[in-house]
Amino acid sequence: MNFAPLPSVAAAAVPADGLVLDVRENDEWAAGHVEGALHIPMSDFVARFGELTGAAEDGRRVHVMCRVGGRSAQVTQYLVQQGLDAVNVEGGMLAWDGAGRPMVTDNGAPAFVL
């Protein structure tokens, strides 16, 4: 059985106004995340899938992110199978931070990758 290669993009190449889907768990999100990202933990993903389809209904590309890229790869594969334009962010939040991309917290504390 052949699988198409998973579409992916470097953290540095995600557009500043891109739709970012963060599939990390709540404690990881609280430590630091991309401003404006949609947060749906992988453990809640199937139940909350409609939140994403609403955000992506204009055909926007979904940039899927986790800590290092494993969980987001699984979610990206699922989204592509559902017909969405989704890409896995290579290296996840560690690569995002390493590329000097901005991160925020909900409580104003310094952001970091958990």
Active site residues per annotation: 66
CB 87 within 8 A of CB 93: no
DSSP class of residue 110?
A: P
Q: Is 50 helix (H, G, I), strand (E, B) or coil?
A: helix
Which residues partner with 109 through β-bridges? none
Rounded distance, CA 78 to CA 83, Å? 9
